[in-house]
């Protein structure tokens, strides 16, 4: 009974198994850790770290707010933003022009944006803030600077505020601050409001319990029954797409392994079931042998005039057709027309044509002269077929 697998098949299967094991090990080594184990130092609603904002997000749902994570482009925000709040906390990515226009449209239509950090000021309409490096970030207490719906329940807040508010083209109100800086402002854009914070620390997991922070955050959002909160995760890198979801799973590696296995099976099958073709046999003859044989035939028959005649008639017919002259045209007329059409020198062309006519009728034609005339006619024919309008080098200098 013949063996099912020969030595070559065993080597192929062994190599495929080794590659599969290597891919599995690489998948395990490079797979991202679970979200709870990642050190996310940003106010993301997915993060339970000190600087994260998962507690604030979950709390809003418990208090009756309609809150959802927004992992789409701001271009998909509702055009009529009345009753909607967009929380933009320390975005990590820059916004495109179209996205900034979409946020402006959202606010102008009646929406409200709670923007935290200098990076958020670059995205919301008509805001300007500066980041000031603070090596020792410490929380400080800031008092309300004037009565406002946003400061009603929080006379004081605690904030780590390295960023500094600069200006806006709209009249703005300073909500919280100290003698040396303003840490929270609000201003109107169309029918909506923009509320800017110097940092997102009041809504972070570690600071939301500090005095006044939660009350200030809820005052910025409004009443639960009237507010639909969109919590931005798009600028934190969470892109809601099928491709981004698949990329975070082992499916790409599994697809690669399946593709390699398919290629191995296809290679094995094609070796056994492919069509059988005989190797192409090279011809023992070459074009040069044909030329040499034809030349030897002309030489033995002393047919040099015939060779010149063949080249001359072919060239004259092609030239007459190209310059639109009758086949019976005289040589001076042909040479003059070729000079006007292609810029060729008239005398060398006329000399070549005249000598060719005499040679094709000569019985005692010298082989060297015949070869020279055939070369000249061949060069003219090549320039004529190329339609380059240039004169052959071999004719121009003779």
99-110 pLDDT per residue, tens? 999 999 999 999
Q: 68 lies in which domain range?
A: 35-245
Q: Do 191 and 257 fall within a single domain?
A: no
Q: Do 212 and 352 fall within a single domain?
A: no
Is 277 inside a domain boundary?
A: no
Is 2 inside a domain boundary?
A: no
User: Residue 140: beta bridge partners?
Assistant: 159
DSSP string across 278-304? PPPPPPS--HHHHHHHHHHHHHHTT-H
CA distances from 343 to 119, 316, 325, 335 (A): 70, 17, 17, 10
Residues in the chain: 398
Q: Do 27 and 39 fall within a single domain?
A: no
pLDDT of residue 37: 36
Supply the Cα-derived Rg of the chain in whole angstroms.
44
pTM of the model: 0.53
CA distances from 8 to 14, 63, 277 (A): 10, 69, 22
Strand ranges across the sheet with 182-189: 66-70, 228-232, 84-89, 112-116, 192-197, 182-189, 172-177, 140-144, 156-159
203-242 pLDDT per residue, tens? 999 899 998 999 999 999 999 888 899 999 999 877 655 5
Of 245, 262, 296, which residue constitutes the final position of a domain?
Answer: 245
Cβ neighbourhood burial of 2 (10 Å; 0-12, 13-18, 19+):
exposed
Identify whether the C-beta of residue 212 lies closer than 8 Å to the C-beta of residue 154: yes
Distance, CA of 9 to CA of 41 (rounded, Å): 52
Task: Quote the number of domains for the chain.
Answer: 3
Q: Please name the helix (run of DSSP H) or strand (run of DSSP E) that holds residue 174, with its range, or none.
A: strand 172-177
Given its phi and psi angles, is residue 289 left (phi above 0), alpha (psi -120 to 50 degrees) or beta? alpha
Q: Do 103 and 175 fall within a single domain?
A: yes
Identify whether the C-beta of residue 268 lies closer than 8 Å to the C-beta of residue 9: yes
In the numeric block, which tokens belong to residue 396? 């121009």
Q: Do 258 and 331 fall within a single domain?
A: no
Q: Do 134 and 186 fall within a single domain?
A: yes
Q: Do 238 and 265 fall within a single domain?
A: no
Q: Do 354 and 216 fall within a single domain?
A: no
pLDDT of residue 252: 80
Q: Do 129 and 141 fall within a single domain?
A: yes
Is 278 inside a domain boundary?
A: no
Nearest residue to 45 via CA among 30, 59, 64: 59
SS3 content of the chain, % helix, strand, coil (to 5): 45, 15, 40
Q: Do 228 and 316 fall within a single domain?
A: no
Is 282 inside a domain boundary?
A: no
Distance, CA of 166 to CA of 126 (rounded, Å): 11
Distance, CA of 166 to CA of 301 (rounded, Å): 103
Is 1 inside a domain boundary?
A: no
Q: Which residues of the chain have pLDDT under 70?
A: 1-6, 9, 28-41, 133-137, 239-249, 271-274, 282-287, 387-398
Identify whether the C-beta of residue 121 lies closer than 8 Å to the C-beta of residue 129: yes
Identify whether the C-beta of residue 110 lies closer than 8 Å to the C-beta of residue 78: no
Q: Do 52 and 170 fall within a single domain?
A: yes
């Amino acid at each position: 009974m013949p063996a099912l697998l020969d030595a070559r098949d065993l080597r192929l299967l062994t190599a495929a198994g080794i590659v599969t094991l290597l891919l599995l090990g690489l998948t395990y080594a490079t797979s991202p850790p679970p979200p709870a184990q990642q050190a996310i130092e940003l106010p993301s609603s997915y993060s339970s770290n000190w600087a994260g904002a998962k507690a604030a997000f979950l709390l809003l749902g418990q208090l009756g707010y309609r809150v959802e994570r927004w992992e789409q482009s701001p271009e998909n925000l509702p055009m009529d933003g009345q009753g909607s709040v967009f929380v933009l906390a320390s975005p990590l990515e820059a916004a495109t022009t179209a996205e900034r226009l979409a946020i402006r449209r959202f606010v102008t239509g009646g929406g409200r944006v709670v923007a935290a950090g200098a990076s958020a000021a670059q995205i919301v309409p008509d805001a300007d803030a500066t980041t000031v490096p603070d090596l020792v970030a410490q929380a400080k207490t800031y008092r309300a600077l004037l009565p406002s719906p946003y400061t009603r329940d929080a006379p004081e807040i605690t904030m780590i505020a390295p960023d500094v508010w600069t200006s806006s083209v709209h009249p703005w109100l300073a909500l919280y601050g100290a003698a040396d800086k303003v840490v929270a402002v609000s201003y109107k854009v169309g029918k909506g409001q923009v509320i800017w914070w110097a940092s997102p620390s009041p809504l972070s997991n570690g600071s939301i319990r500090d005095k006044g922070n939660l009350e200030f955050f809820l005052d910025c959002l409004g009443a639960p029954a009237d507010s639909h909160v969109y919590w931005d995760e798009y600028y934190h890198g969470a892109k809601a797409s099928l491709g981004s979801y698949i990329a975070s799973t082992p499916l790409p590696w599994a697809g690669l392994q399946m593709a390699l296995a398919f290629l191995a099976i296809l290679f094995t099958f094609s070796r056994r079931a492919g069509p059988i073709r005989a190797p192409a046999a090279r011809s023992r003859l070459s074009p040069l042998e044909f030329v040499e044989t034809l030349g030897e035939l002309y030489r033995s028959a002393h047919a040099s005039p015939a060779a010149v005649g063949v080249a001359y008639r072919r060239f004259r017919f092609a030239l007459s057709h190209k310059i639109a002259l009758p086949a019976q045209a005289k040589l001076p007329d042909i040479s003059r027309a070729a000079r006007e059409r292609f810029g060729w020198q008239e005398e060398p062309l006329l000399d070549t044509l005249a000598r060719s006519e005499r040679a094709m009728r000569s019985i005692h034609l010298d082989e060297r002269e015949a070869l020279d005339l055939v070369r000249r006619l061949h060069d003219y024919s090549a320039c004529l077929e190329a339609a380059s309008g240039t004169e052959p080098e071999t004719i121009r200098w003779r």
